Amino acid sequence: MGIGYYALGACILVYYCSCHEKYYAMLENCFLPVVVVMSWFGFLCCTVSKLHYRRPYPFQRKLWSICSFGFQFVLVSSVVYARYYDSLINNAISFPNHHTRMFVYLLVSVFFFSSHIPEKFYPGKFDFIGQGHQIFHIMVSLVTFEQFNAAMIDISYQTRLLTNHKPRADQIVLAMLAFTVLVLTTIYFLRPTIQNRVKEDSELEQMWKK
């Protein structure tokens, strides 16, 4: 649930602070509903993967999360990609390096999330400190920092092609509420499956103890 809120908030931040002007006008009426549904779909994929797969977890389990939120990230970040193109064809426009750092950190975080490195090569050496998932969380923290940093830079240096638009508070609140309703509805309908999975895991744990 938390990753869905994070994805939704990041999309809103990018759109209102860093969006190329022509994309803002094009997406103004549909952006929030689309990212709400995409964030909910990412949450649904994560939930299904956790309910479906059992230990030892196959790589497909992580693919559910990577593909769903990765597609959302690529699609939403396209509102920034045009600025790279503009900077290449027009030397008067600065290259958006502050966004590049965020993209690099994100790719590194995905790598550690999906690879089980370094513990794959040194079993037992990183059981407490230094395992890939811990590095993933550190990189995600850096991604979040760079997202806010990029937004602050874009707000400070507005241009003709980058005009910050103040979001309406009621629209943001409505988007958050809509996502919450979708999540709670999903949990309600999946409740029998969740309860069965918890029961099965509890029974397996008791068997292992015996």
Pick out the residues of the known binding site for Zn(2+).
133, 137
**Per-residue tokens: 5:** 């809120």
Bond into 118 cis (ω within 30) = yes
**What are the CA-CA distances from residue 195 to residues 43, 97, 182, 188, 204 (Å)?**
18, 47, 20, 11, 14
Closest CA to 48 of 34, 73, 65: 65
| Binding-site sequence positions | 133, 137
Alpha-carbon radius of gyration of the chain: 20
With tokens 């990412």, the residue in question is 42
Reference 38, options 66, 71, 64, 9; nearest CA is 71
- Per the DSSP assignment, residues forming a β-bridge with 34 are none
**Quick one: CA dihedral 195, 197, 133, 101, positive or negative?**
negative
DSSP 149-160: HHHHHHHHS-BT
